[in-house]
Amino acid sequence: MSRTWDAVVVGSGPNGLAAAVVLAKAGHSVKVVEGQPTHGGGARTLELTLPGFRHDLCSAIHPMGAASPLFAELELHQHGLQFLHSPAPLAHPLVGEQAVVLERDVEATAARLGVDEGAYLELMRPLVRDFEVIKALLMSPVTRPPVKAPLKAARFGLQALRRAFWFAEEHFEGPMAKALLAGCAAHSFSALTTPLTNSIGLALLAAGHAVGWPLAKGGSQAIVDALVAVLRAHGGELEVNRPIARLEELPPSKLVLFDTHAHVMERVCGEALPGWFRAAVRAFKRGPGVFKLDYALSGPVPWLAKECARAATVHVGGTMQELANSEAAHAEGRVPERPYVLVTQQSLFDETRAPEGRHTLWAYCHVPNGSEEDATPYIEAQLERFAPGFSQRVLARHAKGPAGLEATNASYLGGDISGGAVEGLQLLFRPLPGPPYVTPNSRILLCSSSAPPGPAVHGMCGYWAAQVALGRLRRGL
């Protein structure tokens, strides 16, 4: 006779594992089911190019992981997770040898912004001082706002509502501060003239000063490996290489939690969910896609702006206006010819990523969801623009467009790595207005980045969904 689990979690990304760990630590029987041969979802690390070169499959740099209250509570460092910090969290090359650099110190960052030194200090000092309040706001669903320091939270909230492009135009005069904010706001995957894009920009800048933008030693895989270790220590189980197409294929359980895109949950559950709810979930807007390149290099990237070598993360794309043009292009259904390229160079600061003397590089740009266009020449033209001679250091490359990404993670529908568009009300209410994580079927819950607080490797979508699950298990559903 087969066992009936208290909960089965579909998907072994950071949120699914986080939900499973919270339930297992509370004494419940939990099984995680993963369709891929290895666990981790978007936080896997694989040899994609040449032997000995370890590449992060999707997520690579972890400011929200460093800020995550759940990761801190679980003491993941006791299970092998070590965050490494580059001397500067972020660099953004501009013209020639000029780059704007986000330093851990607010004053050091501001001192290099010229005419905008005072404006940056006025903006960022309160955000860094109040980061614990802001972090609580960022890590909670809008339906459960933190009750401490409401005035500080409201001050950030009013700034967060703004459109990043126009906020930067109003607050800064020079190109450096504008580019710095715009590059962070572009992590929203949205046109920079979209409401609420400023929330992403300000949150990432504040996190850079408060907790840094670290990488995980050995790869992002170390985060999910640590979560799996905690899960198993509390009796939880994990099964890989078991894709699920229908709800009936899952092991018997009282609850099912989906660490998948909301559209995947709807498809797998089928008639276990009412038609009106399924239609509403299908209307949940997907985010743009990603075109990603991983490189094995013979040496470090030859940046014109030498200070880029101090940062694990580099925003490539030029001025704020250039970034705005790039993000507007994919929002309009076009692959940008001069894209904003998010670059990480982990091997400069983590010797485990590549053979001695060699390096890895991780780069992607935003493209329309489902795009089939090869963005390689556009990305490489931008890299050559800011690092002439880059192509001569390429030993091997591995390219993945939206279809390739979806093949490695069934939740990345059309290349959407965010679990749904992060714009407008979808930033706050995911996937639908109303109570998050729940469905009309009391047995089925959503614990992925399609639910609040949304994308990033922090585990908090899983944590909050697990709180709902715990309540239901206590009440006997």
Relative to beta strand 83-84, strand 55-56 is unpaired
pLDDT in tens, 37-94: 999 999 999 999 999 999 999 999 999 999 999 999 999 999 999 999 999 999 999 9
Mean pLDDT value of segment 26-40: 96
Residue 158 has pLDDT above 90, yes or no: no
Of 384-388, 424-428, 446-450, the poorest mean pLDDT is in 424-428
Element (H, E) at 445: strand 444-446
Confidence of residue 155 (pLDDT cuts 50, 70, 90): confident
Residue 150 has pLDDT above 80, yes or no: no
Confidence of residue 318 (pLDDT cuts 50, 70, 90): very high
The CATH superfamily label for domain 5-81+216-285+419-474 reads FAD/NAD(P)-binding domain (3.50.50.60)
Instruction: Report the mean per-residue pLDDT for the chain.
Output: 95
The size of the chain, in residues, is 477
pLDDT at 147: 61
pLDDT in tens, 262-280: 999 999 999 999 999 999 9
pLDDT at 96: 87
Residue 203 has pLDDT above 90, yes or no: yes
**Residues ≥6 apart with Cβ < 8 Å to 161:** 195, 196, 198, 199
Confidence of residue 366 (pLDDT cuts 50, 70, 90): very high
Q: Which long-range contacts (CB under 8 A, 24 or more apart) does 126-131 make?
A: 126/152, 126/155, 127/156, 127/202, 127/205, 127/206, 128/206, 128/209, 128/210, 130/155, 130/156, 131/67, 131/206, 131/207, 131/209, 131/210, 131/211
CB 46 within 8 A of CB 73: no
pLDDT at 143: 76
pLDDT at 151: 78
pLDDT at 129: 94
Indicate the pTM of the whole model. 0.94
pLDDT at 40: 95
User: How much of the chain, in percent, has pLDDT values that exceed 70?
Assistant: 99
pLDDT at 160: 85
